[in-house]
Amino acid sequence: MLRWTDLSQIPQGYGPSVVTMGNFDGVHKGHQAVLATVVERARADRSDGAQAVAVTFDPHPVAVLHPERAPQIITAPELRLDLLAATGLDAVLVMEFTRELALWTPERFVVEVFVKALGASVVVVGEDTRFGVRNSGNVDTLRQLGAAHGFEVLTLTDIGEGGRWSSSRVRSLVTAGDVAGAAEILGRPHRVCGEVVHGDHRGRDLGYPTANLSHESAGLTPADGVYVGWLIRPAVPEGDPDRVLPAAISIGTNPTFAGTQRRVEAHVLDRTDLDLYGETVAVEFVEYLRPTEKFDSIEDLLSQIADDVERARAVLSSTVG
């Protein structure tokens, strides 16, 4: 998949293309359905050389226009691009969202991006699409511009089961700790990525070493609690047994030890030999186990950790089985 970050990088005369646009945070099932339509239509028009293209933005527009209301980003930028590539797109244009871009009229955006740069023959959008200065453009605007500039507009109704699949629903579920519910909308476990850094080394002293993720980790952090999941090592080759490892994951401040820093820590089940410091890993969340607790003694804590590990092992066994 081609990846562009500026209109100037798109080859002259590119197209025709089947295009969609959006933030695609999380690349959830609703996004996937739209993107599948784009890819299918481009493949159907392949005799004309049609390419499947998504236009997205970084940073999130709200983070620029109303930073106090900016949503927490579900998916790290690189993972978002990888997920977009997995849909079969031919290219993605990631436009830097600035205050200047926010002032573009709907017509200027369509002409500069869809018509001149991408040679759009079809534009696929949701019924609630808004774009251009102060979100003044909508589907009707797009149809009028399509008639004037020679592209078809294909609209899709809201997609979802038990409610509309949306990034805001995913955020609500993740921040509430319902990672299983979030996975239903995402179509995969929610993931946080970061470098493994040194912590207090208490886990190792207790017999349960943990990989502590840096505070600069990317991806929306779930609510405090203990989770079942996987620790994934992207630097390890596919198929290597040490690439994807079963884990019990703790999020919180370690109240038993009067901690103050909120951390994401993953204990790889039945492994005490791993040295992950400095390695960038991903932690995937499969199921919520219990809330964070303050224990009266180390013995009580160890007993609970042992129970957590057993429950995690049972959950993951049923998942892969």
- Sole residue written with tokens 């009266």: 296
- Residue 214, phi then psi, degrees to nearest 5: -60, 155
Whether 265 sits among the annotated catalytic residues: the reply is yes
- Choosing from 152, 265, 284, 310, which is the catalytic residue? 265
Instruction: Give the list of residues 6+ apart from residue 317 with CB closer than 8 angstroms, or none.
Output: none
- Residue 122, phi then psi, degrees to nearest 5: -140, 140
- Give the Cβ contact number of residue 158 at 10 Å: 12
- Classify strands 225-232 and 244-252 as parallel, antiparallel or unpaired: antiparallel
- Give the Cβ contact number of residue 3 at 10 Å: 13
Q: Name the burial class of residue 105, with classes exposed (0-12), middle (13-18) and buried (19+) by CB atoms within 10 angstroms of its CB.
A: middle
Q: Are 122 and 18 in contact (CB under 8 A)?
A: yes
- Give the Cβ contact number of residue 15 at 10 Å: 22
Q: d(Cα 293, Cα 295) in Å, to the nearest integer?
A: 6
* b/e per residue 57-95 (b: at least 16 CB within 10 A): bbebbebbeeeeeeeebbbbeebbbebbbebebbbbbbb
Q: Looking at the annotation, which residues are catalytic?
A: 265
